[in-house]
Structure 1
Amino acid sequence: MTARALKRERLPRLYKDVLSKKPKEYWDYEKMIVKWGNLEHYEVTQKIGRGKYSEVFTGYHVPTNKKCVIKILKPVKKKKIKREIKILQNVSKGPNIVALLDIVRDPLTKTPCLVFEHINNTDWKTPANF
């Protein structure tokens, strides 16, 4: 296979220029300025999951007592955090997408947290729910 054929093969066939019609603010996460919310508005109640880059908890919004989900991000490069925030903001109003409600940060540790709407869900890992 020639070098030209390899290069052509790496380009996506579908959606390769989907962002060309969007304004730069839509996709340029590196220049995005994060608007941090107030961490004191949220209270963590119970751990519900974890992953490579975060731990996830149920919690509530203190002023309204409304249930939410708080994703506490583990230390990673600021660029990765901005990228995730930008993507979540862009898709948050789409169908079947859990809404990103707020972005907060611990003032001492600078640990970022993403706050999502709470969705009632069946835990299919528990045999009693089958």
Structure 2
Amino acid sequence: DGELWQQRGLFQKIPISGFAFFFAICVIAGLPPFVGFPAKQFLYRSSSYITPLLTIFLLIAALLMLLISIRYISRMMFGKPSESSENVRNNDDQVIVPLIILFVFLFYSTITPAFFINSMVSPSVYSLLNRGQLVNAIHQGGASE
């Protein structure tokens, strides 16, 4: 069997998994217009307030991650099939439903990021910025009982 990184030419056997893998790399890398882009922008802005060197480090790390991931997926999915990839069975029909659910979620959050930011991210940020109020509320609630 061989390790996954030793496989070649898998796109011919598992095309849906190949598309999903590429989409996940784009999201994680923070490429626009994917949902990971605003998250990376927040990281870069926050790090620039600390020190510009941290921002440069984060940019270099993101670029390296993107380049290594693209190299990995291109070697694994395309090219002449290796001997170990001949034994790979097409199990795309078993993973199609979870991949479609994940794709729809990521695609929808990419198209309408305000919904997710306003309903999920903003309350978390507010609680982090006002954690003194949260601690006081916890202490007051615990002291009254």
> Which TM-score applies when normalising by structure 2?
0.21
Higher strand share: 1
Higher helix share: 2
Structure showing greater Rg:
2
Q: Bigger relative contact order, structure 1 or 2, given CA contacts below 8 A and separation 6+? A: 2
